[in-house]
Amino acid sequence: MQGKEIKKVRQQLNMKQNIFAGRLGISKSYLSKIENNEQVCKKYSGLTPKQLF
């Protein structure tokens, strides 16, 4: 998944960044960087939205 796809999933789940990041086991700032394509997250790159949780 790319950053914009991860952000879309988070928004569809109506979750704030800090909650979503906690569920993924990452920091809010790291999630923000991923969503804004400032950071590549290899851990979630090959996953589908359903596989995130």
User: What's the pTM value of the predicted model, to 2 decimals?
Assistant: 0.78
* CA 3 – CA 34 distance, rounded (Å): 5
pLDDT in tens, 1-43: 788 888 999 999 999 999 999 988 889 999 999 999 998 776 6
pLDDT: which is higher, 46 or 31: 31
- Count of structural domains within the chain: 1
In a domain, 33, yes or no: yes
Q: Print the domain residue range for 27.
A: 3-42
In a domain, 51, yes or no: no
Per the CB < 8 A criterion, the answer to whether 26 and 32 are in contact is no
In a domain, 50, yes or no: no
37-46 as b/e, with b when 16 or more CB fall inside 10 Å? eeeebeebee
* CA 1 – CA 48 distance, rounded (Å): 7
Per the CB < 8 A criterion, the answer to whether 37 and 2 are in contact is yes
